[in-house]
Amino acid sequence: MRRSLAVITALFAVLTLSAGLVSGCGSSSSKSSSASAAVDYSKPGPYPVGTTSFMMDDRLVYMFYPADKDRLGEGTPVTSYSSADAFPPALRAAIPAALIQEVPLNATKDAPIANDGPFPVLIHSHGFGGYPEFTSQHLAHLASWGFVSAAPDHLERDLAANSLGRVKRGETDVQDLRNTLARLKADNESGPFAGSMNFDQLAAEGHSAGGSAAGKFAYDPEVKTFIGQAPGAPLKMNYESTTTADQITAAYAAQTPPDKPTMLLAGEVDQTIPLARVSEEYDWLAAPKRFLVLKGAGHNAFTDICKPIREGGGLMQYSGKLPAPDNLLRLGEDGCMPENLDPDTGSALINHMTVAQLRHVFGIDTSDASLAPSYVESLFPEAIARYDVQN
């Protein structure tokens, strides 16, 4: 049975869940795929997926993009990535080989980018105690539909920082997103990605604490839309363990939301960032906005690691065997147990909503038919607890 991510998450990532939460395609591709009728965007798109990574000062950035189907042979096929990638060498060496798992991924490393861009851009922020590679399947799906995406590692609050007790508070994660944008712009001027990215179509996306960072990044004029996945609040306030719900409500009242289209996705039974907190953010946001709640989903439904945790039998089986108390093991299982929404169904719904929202906001699709509640519910009849739209 494939258990390694469950074990690794129990040891390290689970500790972070409670500790840290007290946040158009280019002209050519548009012409080939503009849609006015509803389209099922949960299916893979027309492009093969390219991937690469690069260092941005001291932190790693993962990048996914639509690849040139005629030049895939110039790259290296990727069929998976290792769950051990999130850990520094000192910790990686201590993980038994039997507990290392390969997470499926269909991409080609360093393949040339497709030549019918420029393509829209999305910058993703991972959650507290997370790792950018753990959203690879989602970002690869976006790439198949003609989007370039980049996800930086937030060293101050990633999995390694939490496992080593080196977490630092502040807004360096927001600056990471801005620095990633600056790097992409430089790459758009020369080199293999020259002229491939359209920064007039720029989206910010984030999960959990990354949703808070992406929401703050959305105040930058260059960002045209924001998507939050079980997001933390994008408020300009210092969160402490003693921060109360009333203080958060007061902070919302004192702060004007970003004036741009937004979409929030949330888990109905999220125990880490409860649905009520995401609902409060949605009520605060300016229209146009969308809010979809995944039925029976929890906090980890938005990451690649949820399915392996579920397939491995959850984390509580390791109670008393790991240096983590039971309440933290339960948090690590958040949304990844048999009673929760099937991970494949959840990922398909998340992917559909994300692609459809981006194509609608960027004017690639000539209508919002793919986002119509009746259509989305027809695709996922048992997976939606709530879907609200305000234009």
C-alpha to C-alpha distance for 321 and 73, rounded to whole angstroms = 46
Residues 6+ apart with CB under 8 A from 381: none
Residue 51 to residues 127, 197, 237, Cα–Cα distance (Å):
21, 15, 36
pLDDT of amino acid 320: 65
Cβ neighbours around 68 below 10 Å, total: 18
Report the candidate in 34, 28, 41 with the shortest Cα–Cα distance to residue 357.
41
Give the tens place of pLDDT for each residue, 328-369. Answer: 556 668 899 999 999 999 999 999 999 999 999 999 999 999
Q: Tell me whether residue 245 is exposed, middle or buried, using C-beta atoms within 10 angstroms of its C-beta: 0 to 12, 13 to 18, 19 or more.
A: exposed
From 140-154, 190-204, 231-245, 294-308, the region with the lowest mean pLDDT: 231-245
C-alpha to C-alpha distance for 17 and 233, rounded to whole angstroms = 15
Q: Are 298 and 335 in contact (CB under 8 A)?
A: yes
What does residue 235 show for φ and ψ, rounded to 5 degrees? Answer: -100, 145
pLDDT exceeds cutoff 60 at 14:
no
pLDDT of amino acid 330: 65
The pLDDT confidence band at residue 322, using thresholds 50, 70 and 90, is low
pLDDT exceeds cutoff 50 at 9:
no
The pLDDT confidence band at residue 236, using thresholds 50, 70 and 90, is confident
Give the number of domains in the chain: 1
Ordered DSSP codes for 159-193: HHHHHTT----SSHHHHHHHHHHHHHHHHTTSSTT
Edge to edge, the sheet with strand 148-152 lists 76-82, 102-109, 49-56, 59-66, 148-152, 119-125, 197-207, 225-229, 262-267, 289-294, 384-390
pLDDT of amino acid 327: 52
Q: Are 53 and 62 in contact (CB under 8 A)?
A: yes
Report the candidate in 221, 216, 135 with the shortest Cα–Cα distance to residue 173.
216
**Higher confidence at residue 74 or residue 84?**
74
Residue 258 to residues 102, 226, 284, 375, Cα–Cα distance (Å):
39, 9, 10, 28
pLDDT exceeds cutoff 80 at 325:
no
What does residue 37 show for φ and ψ, rounded to 5 degrees? Answer: -85, 160
Here the CATH number for the domain that contains residue 186 is: 3.40.50.1820
Say how many Å lie between the first and final Cα of the chain, rounded. 47
Q: What is the CA radius of gyration of the chain?
A: 20
pLDDT exceeds cutoff 60 at 22:
no
388's enclosing H/E stretch is strand 384-390
Domain around 74: 4-390
Report the candidate in 20, 46, 235, 271 with the shortest Cα–Cα distance to residue 144.
46
pLDDT of amino acid 339: 95
pLDDT exceeds cutoff 90 at 79:
yes
123's enclosing H/E stretch is strand 119-125
Task: Tell me what the mean pLDDT of segment 366-382 comes to.
Answer: 98
